[in-house]
Structure 1
């Protein structure tokens, strides 16, 4: 039987705090979503000033990163590189800003961020994940 780590609420709270701190330090109004390995929501935080749509997009970025087992940036690069047929793939978003949480080589969840430039969204998501180490 296989076993793997899972995200507890303590870790989720730590990740949200780190992401919030990074976003606020840079004056970025974003939404932050954390999901489990199946893309199911564990937490969502919409910072003051972020548009309502960012909550939806952050959640979809996180879900896509968890289910796809990779950063959503890769999907965006495929589409921007001319693979427009990839838009019909059964993933929820192909926008940068979704980053999987990997422990011992296994995806145990993901973080999605939306509200600023794509690379800035990803920067905040990675700050959340860095809080785990």
Structure 2
């Protein structure tokens, strides 16, 4: 049997807080969702003024990133994004009752090479969502660095 890592609620809260701090710094009303490895929410927060659609979109992005083990924008990055028309995964966003998000703002949470969750952001433009997602991952890295764990903190995460 393999022992696996598990993202804990207190760690997810640290990640969400970091993403929301970054959103406040750049002046955007974000919604953040930190999911477990199965894509189910551990923490879901919408800032005051955030769009009412934000929670569902952020969850969808976290779900996709955790479940498919890659950053969501990689599905549509030209020219070879697999979800682009004519490519092998075109239409994948219709999977899982429309929960599959094939656009910017979702990142897998990768610790010691293992996907342990996802982070999804909604509310800003693509660059703003990326900044907030990277802040969440960096906060987890800082939290875990004394424990000997390595968190992958980069925009183009492809497992």
- Give the TM-score normalised by structure 2: 0.78
Map of 1:101 onto structure 2: 109
Relative distance call for 1:116 and 1:35 in structure 2 (3 A) is same
Map of 1:21 onto structure 2: 21
Alignment of 1:37-56 (within 5 A): 37-56=37-56
- Give the TM-score normalised by structure 1: 0.92
Q: CA–CA distance in 1 between the matches of 2:31 and 2:8?
A: 20
Larger relative contact order, structure 1 or 2 (CA cutoff 8 Å, min sep 6): 1
- Who wins on radius of gyration, i.e. which is larger? 2
Alignment of 1:7-18 (within 5 A): 7-18=7-18
The superposition leaves residues 75-115 of structure 1 with CA deviations (integer Å, 9 ceiling, x where unpaired) of: 12126854466342236110110001101111000100011
The superposition leaves residues 18-76 of structure 1 with CA deviations (integer Å, 9 ceiling, x where unpaired) of: 11110001111010001011111111000011110111111100000001100001012
Question: Are the equivalent residues in 1 in contact too, given 2:22–2:132 (CA < 8 A)?
Answer: yes
Q: Please tell me the root mean square deviation across aligned C-alpha atoms, in Å.
A: 1.7
Q: CA–CA distance in 2 between the matches of 1:40 and 1:54?
A: 16
Q: CA–CA distance in 1 between the matches of 2:15 and 2:39?
A: 16
Map of 1:31 onto structure 2: 31
Question: Are the equivalent residues in 1 in contact too, given 2:75–2:82 (CA < 8 A)?
Answer: yes
